[in-house]
Amino acid sequence: MLAGGATTALAGTGLLGGCGTGVAPPPGRPDRKPGEKVTLNFWSWVPGIAAPVDLWNKRNPDVQVHLDTIIPGGSGGYAKLHAAVHTGGAPDLAQIEYHILPAFMLDGGLLDLTGYGIGRYEHLFVPWQWRQGVFDGRVRTVPQASGPMAMFYRADLFAKWGIEVPKTWPQYRDAAAKVRKADPGAYIMAFPPANSAYQTGLAWQAGAHWFTARGQSWRIDMTDPGSTRMCDYWDELLHEKLILAEQDMQSGWFAQLQRGQLVSWVGPQWGDALLTGNAAGTAGKWRVALMPQWDSSHPAAANWGGSSTAVMANSRYPEEAMRFAVWLNTDLDSVNLLIKGGYGWPALDNAYHRTILDRPNPFFGGQRYNEVFAAADKQIDDSWLWLPTTASTLDHLNASIAGAVNSRGRLIDALRTAQRQTVDDLRAKGLKASGPKEER
């Protein structure tokens, strides 16, 4: 799912409501005796996570990790974890996506790792991913992975139809028209009506800044110039039927990719596993390029997805839990296993040249396609903020955007609806918030 930018300096202010109300106190943390064996409980749904956990357990017989593979956070995993935080039954460690971290800060569920020496590992991580877990100067999690976005495209069909790889969004529109002319049954892409993570990424790349902190208050503006530009563009392509309105990552979508009826996808790096696993018949025909640009003189990418390995506030063995979290996300053997599982773009700094990412891939015609994502990762605006109510905002967007697409309405009106609902959500949590035309 999502990841975000600088969420620093939020705790300890009105932006997170003081944090930690109503949370069950952590159990006593016993002094570990030399040679004593301990077991850490770890909740996660990361693809392939069992392999590095098994490797850790083989190498560390005195500190074993029990993996509990839970359902994804947005499908119920977070509800289970929030409940466990409030009852004192949370695991030692849990996978928490970047955009959800402020919600667990509000709950007081994240352990402050600063006093355990986490700072000595900062240099190992991509700086903007490290900052995802820093609140009020205190480090609350260990970064794991993100999802820089680029454009997957069918090189064979582009060549057959005389379409140059678009470098700008206007060129992408022209390419969309050429696809429709060349094959009336094909589209350059599908626009998902109910995937707010996708639309968030598009707005992010267009220069939007939906959530900003002003003193003790949140300011919510989801109709800023970047958002408006993005919405107007996709409205035009949808209304002119240059793209297909269809939900992504569903069986029909995969079938259309396989049949050459959808010939590009602006998606995250972890989407490579979706293509190779669900469109095997197109092997060798895909390539990857940077996202089309709004302003070629200021190249920008976006991010879709990203998680951390959090040590929960009630862990009985925080030092051991922190050590495992750091190892999981920096040890090259572990990171390579995670890459094979399709977990996303590593939070390990300079991972591209240090891991199996730096290899030609036959599915992508022998292209070292991850070098494109390495470049995209450096083009992400890291000033994007997330809210303690982000999950609700994404739900609102799913409903309002789907309504706009299905009724041929305007996407900017859908964002305006979600904006009002987001302000209400924050105020319901006792947090100060205002829209662009009000300051309360």
Strands 142-154 and 345-346: antiparallel
Strands 190-191 and 244-245: parallel
Classify residue 440: in a domain, yes or no: no
Is residue 47 within 8 A of residue 342, CB to CB? The reply is yes
Is residue 404 within 8 A of residue 114, CB to CB? The reply is no
Q: Is 193 found in the same domain as 86?
A: no
Which runs of consecutive H residues, i.e. helices, occur in 24-97?
A: 50-59, 77-87
Q: Is 96 found in the same domain as 141?
A: yes
Q: Is 394 found in the same domain as 284?
A: yes
Classify residue 439: in a domain, yes or no: no
Alpha-carbon span 439 to 433, nearest angstrom: 8
Is residue 132 within 8 A of residue 7, CB to CB? The reply is yes
Q: How many domains does the chain divide into?
A: 2
For tokens 């820093």, name the residue: 134
235: Cα within 13 Å, side-chain hemisphere = 17
Which residues constitute the domain of residue 259? 149-302+384-434
Rounded to a whole number of angstroms, the CA Rg of the chain reads 22
Helix (H, G, I), strand (E, B) or coil at 232: helix
For the record, the structure tokens of 58 come out as: 């083989």
The single-letter DSSP state of residue 92 is: S
Q: What is the CATH number of the domain that holds 313?
A: 3.40.190.10
Alpha-carbon span 42 to 40, nearest angstrom: 6
Q: Is 392 found in the same domain as 331?
A: no
Q: Which of 338, 355, 377 is the last residue of a domain?
A: 377
Classify residue 71: in a domain, yes or no: yes
Which runs of consecutive H residues, i.e. helices, occur in 125-168?
A: 127-130, 155-160
Q: At what angle do helices 332-341 and 318-330 cross, to 10 degrees?
A: 70
**Closest C-alpha to 222, from 415, 358, 69:** 415
For the record, the structure tokens of 363 come out as: 């599915």
Alpha-carbon span 239 to 8, nearest angstrom: 40
**Closest C-alpha to 429, from 218, 268, 263:** 218
Q: Is 166 found in the same domain as 57?
A: no
pLDDT at 40: 99
Q: Which of 355, 377, 399 is the last residue of a domain?
A: 377
- Dihedral sign for Cα atoms in the order 166, 5, 79, 414: negative
pLDDT at 7: 44
Q: Is 326 found in the same domain as 261?
A: no
Q: Is 298 found in the same domain as 185?
A: yes
Q: Is 390 found in the same domain as 370?
A: no
Q: Is 45 found in the same domain as 142?
A: yes
Alpha-carbon span 195 to 191, nearest angstrom: 9
Q: Which of 377, 395, 414 is the last residue of a domain?
A: 377
Classify residue 1: in a domain, yes or no: no
pLDDT at 19: 52
The string over 288-306, giving b where at least 16 C-beta atoms fall within 10 Å of a residue's C-beta and e elsewhere, is bbbbbbbeeeebbbbbbbb
Classify residue 8: in a domain, yes or no: no
Q: Is 192 found in the same domain as 60?
A: no
Q: Is 415 found in the same domain as 331?
A: no
Distances (CA, A) of 431 to 13, 83, 160, 238: 10, 21, 55, 37
Q: Is 230 found in the same domain as 85?
A: no
Classify residue 33: in a domain, yes or no: yes
**Closest C-alpha to 241, from 199, 185, 282, 197:** 185
Classify residue 327: in a domain, yes or no: yes
Classify residue 297: in a domain, yes or no: yes
Per-residue model confidence as pLDDT tens for the chain (440 residues):
443 444 444 544 456 654 544 444 445 556 767 778 999 999 999 999 999 999 999 999 999 999 999 999 989 999 999 999 999 999 999 999 999 999 999 999 999 999 999 999 999 999 999 999 999 899 999 999 999 999 999 999 999 999 999 999 999 999 999 999 999 999 999 999 999 999 999 999 999 999 998 888 999 999 999 999 999 999 999 999 999 999 999 999 999 999 999 999 999 999 999 999 999 999 999 999 999 999 999 999 999 999 999 999 999 999 999 999 999 999 999 999 999 999 999 999 999 999 999 999 999 999 999 999 999 999 999 899 999 999 999 999 999 999 999 999 999 999 999 999 999 999 999 999 999 976 54
